[in-house]
Structure 1
Amino acid sequence: MVTTVYDADGNPRVIDPYLDGCPTRRILDRIGDRWTVLVVGVLGEGTARFSELKRRIDGISQKMLTQTLREMERDGLVIRTVYPEVPVRVAYALTDAGRSLRAPLKALEEWSIEHLGGVLVSQGEYDQKGAAKAG
């Protein structure tokens, strides 16, 4: 889908994600990232602290969670709230834009669960063909 948007100076800019250099590709990279999908899933249930996100998203490193949250905050998907307490408490929540991603990302999650069996069968068949060609 090709559209026109206007930058901060009022200059028109043609947006087409199929063109190299289109800024929507960076957004697609962000929302297509597995960690973003999982963070949106957890935060879709409500505000969470870093430690809770780390505990709920098995396999994510502290570094990757920090990076993902920072990028999501920069993109306007997550809001980070610091509470001036001792010790300092930090909580994360989805913004309106982040909440708008819940339904499409949940659909992808459900699709992956529903089709996992078929994908695994296809992968096995493909790998066997490759092994037969190599042998």
Structure 2
Amino acid sequence: MTGDPTCPVCRTADVVCGKWTLLLVRDLSEGRSRFCELERSLAGISPRTLSLRLRALEEEGIVDRHTYAEVPPRVEYQLTEKGRDLLPIIQSMREYGTRWLGGEDACTPAAA
């Protein structure tokens, strides 16, 4: 995305405006999730795209990746404090969509 690198709105948009990114944050708002759970909750996302988005969110410090020493290997993702700070933005988007775009109040999992 282009814009003023000193503008906080432009910099935030660079981080969160990729396709699926805010939906991943929304889904992770419920707590830890595994890759397959996120893939199921985001119908239509390819495994490659999900992997790329999770990696980018991890690099930005928005998501933590937890790997467990088990067989088979288990990996879980959860929001960091930085990631949880995005939740009011998602809530505002939900309210805007409900009010102005005729959306149903049925977003999941962060519908509250």
- Give the TM interval when normalised to the shorter protein: 0.7 to 0.9
Higher relative contact order (CA 8 A, sep 6+): 2
Choose which of 6, 14, 38 in structure 2 pairs with 1:29: 14
Aligned twin of 2:84: 99
What one-letter code is carried by the residue in structure 2 that aligns with 1:88? P
Larger Rg: 1 or 2? 1
Instruction: Tell me the alpha carbon deviations over residues 16-74 of structure 1, each in whole angstroms, 9 at most, x when there is no partner.
Output: x952x448535312222341111111110110000000001111111111111000000
Provide the residue aligned with 2:93 in structure 1: 108
TM-score of the two chains, using structure 2 as the length reference: 0.78
2:46 equivalent among 58, 61, 66: 61
Count, aligned residues: 100
What TM-score results when the alignment is normalised by the length of structure 1?
Answer: 0.66
Q: Runs ≥4 in structure 1, deviation > 3 angstroms? A: 21-27
CA RMSD of aligned residues (A): 2.1
What are the ranges of 5 or more consecutive residues in structure 2 without an aligned counterpart?
103-112
Instruction: Name the structure where helix makes up a greater proportion of residues.
Output: 1
User: What residue identity is the alignment partner of 2:79?
Assistant: L
Q: Percent identity, please.
A: 39
Return the alpha-carbon distance in structure 2 between the equivalents of residues 76 and 89 of structure 1: 21
Point out where structure 1 has 5 or more consecutive residues left out of the alignment.
1-16, 118-135
